[in-house]
Amino acid sequence: MDHDSIGKALTVGEVAARSGVAVSTLHYYEARGLIRSSRSRGNQRRYAREVLRRVSVIKVAQRVGVPQAGRMHRLRLPFHAQLLAAKSVG
C-alpha cells in the first residue's frame, strides 16, 4: 500500500468492528502472515479494504474446520487455493 492509499485505508479498530474480530486477533493474523498492513506517518497500522474479505475467508475456514489455517501463509498459492488445498489434505 502506498502513501496515497493510506488515507483510504482502515484502522485496526475499524477492521475489528467491521469484521467482528478482536484487535488482538488481527495482530495475530498479521504476525502469522495471513493479512498485511502498512504504517501511517504516526506509525499506526492501516489496512487495505480487501483485508475485510480476507478476514471473512479466514473465519469461514476456521468454522468449517480447515486444518492449521494459521499456517497457510507458508504456501505459495493464492489465498483461496490455499484454503482448498488445506481442506483437501485434512
Q: How buried is 35 (Cβ within 10 angstroms: 0-12 exposed, 13-18 middle, 19+ buried)?
A: buried
3-64 CATH:
1.10.1660.10
Q: What is the DSSP string of 14-55?
A: HHHHHHT--HHHHHHHHHTTSS--EE-TTS-EEE-THHHHHH
For residues 10-32, one letter each, b for 16 or more C-beta atoms within 10 angstroms of the residue's C-beta and e for the rest, the string is bebeebbeebebeeeebeebbee
**Where do the structural domains in the chain lie, given as residue ranges?**
3-64
Residue 4 pLDDT level (bands cut at 50, 70, 90): very low
Q: What local confidence, expressed as pLDDT, does residue 5 receive?
A: 46
Predicted TM-score (pTM) of this structure: 0.68
pLDDT tens digits for 9-31? Answer: 999 999 999 999 999 999 999 99
Cell numbers for 79, please give them: 489465498
pLDDT tens digits for 38-87? Answer: 999 999 999 999 999 999 988 888 888 876 655 555 544 455 555 555 55
